[in-house]
Chains A and B, each alone.
Chain A
Amino acid sequence: MRARHTASRLLQYLLLQALIAILCIFVLVHPLPEPPSNYVVTGFQLNDRGETRRATLPDFVPTRASMQDPAVFTGHFTWSAREADGGWSVYLPRFTNGVVVLVNGVEVLDSRRDPTANRADRATPEIAVIPASLLRDGANELVIRLFVWGPISGFLDKVYAGPDASLRRYYERRTLLFVTLPAVFSAWQGILAVILIVMWAMRRGEAAYGALAAAMALGAIQGFLPSAIDQPAFPELNSTLLTAGPTESACVLAFGILFFGRKWPRVLGPLIFIPGVIVALVGLFGNPVVTRQIFLYLGVPAILLHLLLLALIVGWSEMRRQDVPSLLLGCGVTVVLTSILHDVLEVAGFIADDRLFFTRLSYSAMLVAIGAGLTFRFAQALNRVDGFAAHLAIQLHAAEDKLKASFAREQERERAAALSRERARLMRDLHDGLGGQLVSIVALSERGTEGGRIGEAARAALKDLRLVIDSMDDIGGDLMLALGSWRDRAAAQLRPHDIALDWRAAPPGLPVYPELRPWHVIQIIRILDEAVTNAVKHAGAKHVAVSIETRMEGGGEHGCITVTDDGKGFSIGGENRPASRGLRNMRNRAARCGAVLELSSGAGGTTVRLQLPRRFPEGDAAAG
């Protein structure tokens, strides 16, 4: 089943290539339009190396070693002064390799001065206007000296002499086809070379692009090089580059092998470059004639072989993958192969030889295929990248959503935990303060006669309530803000007892503690409250002083709050039970906040010194 499928695919591919080849042949053998036959110059006498014979154009002369020994064609054409409208020209559609044209003994054209005309692979036409003063009424002599420098034999197609107005458009048409178009394609090949070099430079791993860039660069250079006949500055280098065709085709083949996914054959791979190297070495060290010979007999077959191999590789790739680049290049190779076979057969004399070579021209079809194929691959890669990016974006989105959901859950849990912690703290604080005070209010009210003390207890309860409310406020770690409120409350508590509150706090006061939490604030304020209450209730003090300062100790800042009274003091750990319970409370609270409580008491009064920690602890571990 699969084999049948493959076979049918192969058949389809081969049929397509055959169709393309047939179309090519049809185009190649289709004759180009010719000027009216009454302008053809006939009846030529050929004088070649001392021999004279009649010649009918088109005609061939053998190749020769000397550049100074042309074959001379002598013919005649008729010009009538009366019938002549406008200037006359002599038009030579095709010749190899060079011509000098003389009318009535005067030179009107020397094609050797035109570099494109000197290249045998380009069918460059020539046209020359005959100065009116040269023309005679009646018969005019036309002499064509044909120079031949190989590697193929000399050739002279039909020669036309007639009104410039009717001849020139045929000349222009051929120029467009055989001169301008190849130049355009060479330029395009140059651009392709630059693009591929950049591509290869950015992606060194892709040797295929390097090989193709080399091929394109060689091709582009060849298109603009003068031939040896033009006497270039470095003739050897010049001829080497001009005959780099086998190297170029080897590079294209290497590209085909690499691009269509075949592993580079370690041993056989370099062999494809051997013909190119031989031709290049001969070009560098041999003489021009030998160079041209070796190009013809080694270079051209090598190119043909390379193209055949490329056709096989591309065909195989098309069978395997059925992708657009293989198909395009396959068709391109077929076009070039057909053309080169046509040209070779023509030179070898197997088919009618009109010396029109189409290899270079058809090569442009392959260039178009390569360009389109590469662009297709590039666009495909971009699409794949886009698809990948879109897929990635979807995945990212999903992950983000999941993360958001889990974050929201986490946040909700945290909020619930914080709320329950806060609730627990509030309960504890209210129990410690307000609860006890309310109980004592109840107890006092039952005794009936303790009016003043009931008021005192109730006031203490209110004061504590304010402390709890106040401590819930966010003070941004600035303990001074909490102490400011406490100052108001403490002053209100002391005023009825006629005790002055001496407040010493120089700006800026205490350092800011970013980790400060409400429960720290409550502990600290309760310690200070206890100290003030002791001064009022037990010590009988007249003055209470609170001083707030920041001390530099051990390389760090320590906040320090000191409460001093001038009361009668007490003995620490003595028999005064409520006082000692209060002291124990104060120490506990200080420990929970990581603060150090120092207490000294004597006849002159009591000093409570609370040294705040560098950092307040996070958990209320001692709370139990």
Chain B
Amino acid sequence: MASTEQLPAQEITILLVEDDPPTLWRLQDALVKAGFDVAAAQNLAEARASLAARIPRVLLTDLQLPDGHGVELIRETRARHPDTEIMVISALGDEETVISAITVGATGYILKDAFPSDIAATVRDLVAGHSPISASIARFIVRRTQANAEPPPGPELNTAKLTPREIDILWGIAKGFSYAEIADNLGMSRQTVPGHIKSIYRKLEVHTRGEAVFEAVQQGLIKL
């Protein structure tokens, strides 16, 4: 992790998958101007071809693609190239999009209308091991940790692996407290908070079909 933090921008390869041309130009512009090495694709087929040719350090993908769903691309990439960081591109940053991407292996998201400087900063942070999380996404996750007879609407999410500390961190983020305030309140080091967030994302991921079945059995969803 320490080595990647010092990585120059031009050595960070990015595969950008977005079907709306203006949005693609806008994002590509922002990333190229920041010095990243960007490859672009407008659909699943192009993205797969690009991945076959070169394994990127970061994959940025939209979910609604003309020839399929971005979730498939994320799952494939996560399985074949575990070192590639994956982010989803979202119009609204709503939990529907972000959470479904996280459960297949994404560790972050970018808003389509974000400012160029923010886009570059987010990618850089991600490569450095700092996953971004918004208050509303944190709120969605912590609400799923509360035991309810009827789960609130939205994508399925298994929060069984989260520790009480991680849930406390999510509460702090959901309420708008800064990482420093959260760390002070929980009696932990401020630098460790971003690492915790990436770990939270990883724990929410459903890795394989087998594991999904195992978890379903664990939760009593499937009776053997």
Chain A residues with a Cβ under 8 A of chain B: 458-459, 462, 465-466, 469-470, 473-475, 478, 480-481, 483-488, 492, 495-496, 503, 505-507, 509, 548
Contacts and interface: CB of A to CB of B under 8 A. Distances in A.
Contacts of B113: 458-459, 462
Interface residues of B, number: 25
A481 B138 CA distance: 10
A474 to B, nearest CB: 7
Interface of B: 91-94, 111, 113-115, 117-118, 134-136, 138-139, 152, 172-178, 181, 185
A480 B176 contact: yes
A209 B185 CA distance: 78
A465 B92 contact: yes
A560 to B, nearest CB: 15
28 contacts: A459-B113, A462-B113, A465-B92, A469-B92, A469-B94, A470-B136, A474-B152, A475-B139, A481-B174, A484-B135, A484-B138, A484-B173, A484-B174, A484-B175, A485-B134, A485-B136, A485-B176, A487-B135, A488-B134, A488-B136, A492-B114, A495-B117, A496-B117, A503-B178, A505-B177, A507-B177, A507-B181, A507-B185
B183 to A, nearest CB: 12
B16 to A, nearest CB: 20
Contact of A509 (B91, B139, B173, B175): B175
B115 A462 contact: no
Instruction: Identify which of B92, B115, B136, B152 gathers the most chain A CB atoms within 10 Å of its CB.
Output: B136
A497 to B, nearest CB: 10
B173 to A, nearest CB: 7
B176 A505 contact: yes
Given A469-B94, A474-B152, A488 B177 contact: no
B139 A484 contact: yes
Given A459-B113, A481-B174, A495-B117, 12 more contacts: A465-B92, A475-B139, A481-B175, A484-B135, A484-B177, A485-B135, A485-B176, A495-B115, A496-B117, A503-B178, A505-B181, A509-B177
Nearest to A458: B113
Contacts of B174: 480-481, 484
A483 B93 CA distance: 16
A492 B118 contact: yes
B92 A484 contact: no
A486 B176 contact: yes
A451 to B, nearest CB: 13
Nearest to B94: A469
A475 B152 CA distance: 11
Contact of B176 (A458, A469, A473, A503): A503
Contacts of A474: 152
A469 B90 CA distance: 14
A485 B92 contact: no
Contacts of B117: 495-496
